[in-house]
């Protein structure tokens, strides 16, 4: 590869001739993602107030082993095989999949490299470090695992859709409560985010040079592309709604809010 000699003119971190509020977008990302990570950690390790009536918090779904009636394998207390140093939480058994999916997502990668690592802080703005490895070597080469997390994320949409269906079935039969709608919006937004994933777009047909030879894959590729165009919007809406669904359950189960019945 040819090389050229360019005198280094960029003085350092934050140096730029830009006049706009270039710091605002990374700051909002930092606040938004930081707040979500903090809240999720608190809720995951809390291990309480994660179900209310037919609703189950998306942080804890699917509840593989746990004390709630939603659990696949119901246990009254902490299982004997659970590591002693770790507080028991059913969420820890499942959270790795959605966390891994979002952490390796192409949109989030670009966003958190800017917001949390200032690499770069924003376009044509000076960086704090001179060394750079990118995603070519360890540890960030692991980002290439994204499609494997996608497979799990697709399964999770099915599970959360099942949770949404169950959210309409109360002890006295079928009803629609505000909580039912909250739980329904969750798999819809997550579906919009997951099905618009760049890896999914590639696997569904983007990897083919002659997609016209497979009309069904071509149609699927068009749908995924349509969602992919607003991937960032889907990513944020689904993230906020996961947190809100959990907040709704906490407030209902602690009696602060009432889960109003629509019919």
Partner 1 sequence: MANATFRIWRGDKSGGGYKDYPIETSEGMVVLDAVHQIQASQANDLAVRWNCKAGKCGSCSAEVNGFPKLMCMTRLNTLDLTQPVTVQPMQTFPVIRDLVTDVSWNYEVKKTIQKMKTRKPDASDGTWRVNQRDVDRPQEFRKCIECFLCQNVCHVLREHQMFSEFVGPRFFVYAAALEMNPVDAADRVADLKDKHGIGLCNITKCCTHVCPEEIKITDNAIIPLKERVVDEFFDPVRKLFKMFKG
> Using CB under 8 A as the criterion, which residues of the chain lie in contact with partner 1 when the complex forms?
1-10, 16-20, 106, 109-110, 113-114, 119-120, 123-124, 126-127, 130-137, 140-141, 144-147, 198-199, 201-203, 206-207, 209-213, 218, 228-229, 231
Q: How far is the CB of 131 from partner 1 (least distance, A)?
A: 8
Helix (H) / strand (E) containing 37? helix 24-46
By the 8 A CB rule, do 173 and 259 touch?
no
In angstroms, how far is the first alpha carbon of the chain from the final one? 68
Q: 51 has which bridge partners?
A: 56
By the 8 A CB rule, do 242 and 99 touch?
no
Q: How far is the CB of 67 from partner 1 (least distance, A)?
A: 36
Cα 67 to Cα 154: distance, rounded to the nearest angstrom: 26
Q: Which residues contact 41 (CB under 8 A, 6 or more apart)?
A: none
Helix (H) / strand (E) containing 65? strand 65-66
Please, which residue, 54 or 205, has the CB nearer to partner 1?
Answer: 205
Cα 187 to Cα 159: distance, rounded to the nearest angstrom: 9
Q: How far is the CB of 15 from partner 1 (least distance, A)?
A: 10
Q: Decide: helix, strand or coil at residue 98.
A: helix
Q: How far is the CB of 192 from partner 1 (least distance, A)?
A: 16
Please, which residue, 16 or 46, has the CB nearer to partner 1?
Answer: 16
Q: How far is the CB of 242 from partner 1 (least distance, A)?
A: 23
Cα 201 to Cα 226: distance, rounded to the nearest angstrom: 10
Q: How far is the CB of 209 from partner 1 (least distance, A)?
A: 5
Q: How far is the CB of 74 from partner 1 (least distance, A)?
A: 34
By the 8 A CB rule, do 193 and 232 touch?
no
Radius of gyration over every alpha carbon of the chain, rounded to an integer in angstroms = 22
Please, which residue, 70 or 146, has the CB nearer to partner 1?
Answer: 146
Please, which residue, 35 or 145, has the CB nearer to partner 1?
Answer: 145
Please, which residue, 92 or 211, has the CB nearer to partner 1?
Answer: 211
Please, which residue, 76 or 216, has the CB nearer to partner 1?
Answer: 216
Please, which residue, 129 or 260, has the CB nearer to partner 1?
Answer: 129
Measured in whole angstroms, the distance separating CA 148 from the mean position of its chain's CA atoms is 15
By the 8 A CB rule, do 242 and 186 touch?
yes
Q: 170 has which bridge partners?
A: 173
């Amino acid at each position: 590869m040819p090389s050229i000699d360019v005198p280094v003119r960029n003085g350092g971190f934050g140096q730029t001739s830009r006049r706009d509020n270039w710091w605002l977008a990374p700051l909002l990302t930092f606040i938004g993602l930081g707040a979500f990570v903090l809240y999720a950690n608190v809720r995951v390790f809390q291990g309480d107030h994660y179900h209310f009536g037919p609703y189950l918090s998306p942080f804890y779904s699917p509840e593989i082993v746990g004390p709630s009636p939603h659990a696949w394998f119901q246990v009254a207390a902490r299982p004997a095989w659970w590591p002693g140093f770790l507080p028991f939480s059913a969420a820890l058994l499942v959270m790795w999949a959605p966390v891994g999916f979002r952490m390796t997502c192409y949109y989030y990668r670009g966003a958190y490299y800017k917001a949390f690592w200032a690499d770069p802080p924003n376009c044509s703005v000076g960086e704090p470090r001179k060394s750079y490895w990118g995603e070519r070597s360890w540890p960030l080469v692991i980002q290439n695992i994204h499609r494997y997390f996608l497979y799990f994320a697709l399964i999770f949409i099915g599970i959360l859709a099942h949770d949404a269906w169950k959210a309409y079935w109360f002890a006295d039969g079928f009803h629609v409560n505000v909580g039912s709608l909250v739980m329904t919006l969750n798999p819809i937004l997550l579906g919009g985010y997951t099905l618009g994933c760049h890896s999914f777009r590639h696997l569904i047909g983007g990897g083919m040079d002659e997609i016209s030879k497979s009309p069904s894959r071509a149609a699927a590729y068009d749908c995924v592309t349509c969602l992919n165009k607003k991937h960032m919007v889907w990513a944020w809406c689904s993230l906020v709604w996961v947190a809100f669904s959990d907040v709704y359950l906490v407030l209902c189960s602690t009696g602060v809010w009432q889960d109003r019945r629509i019919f």
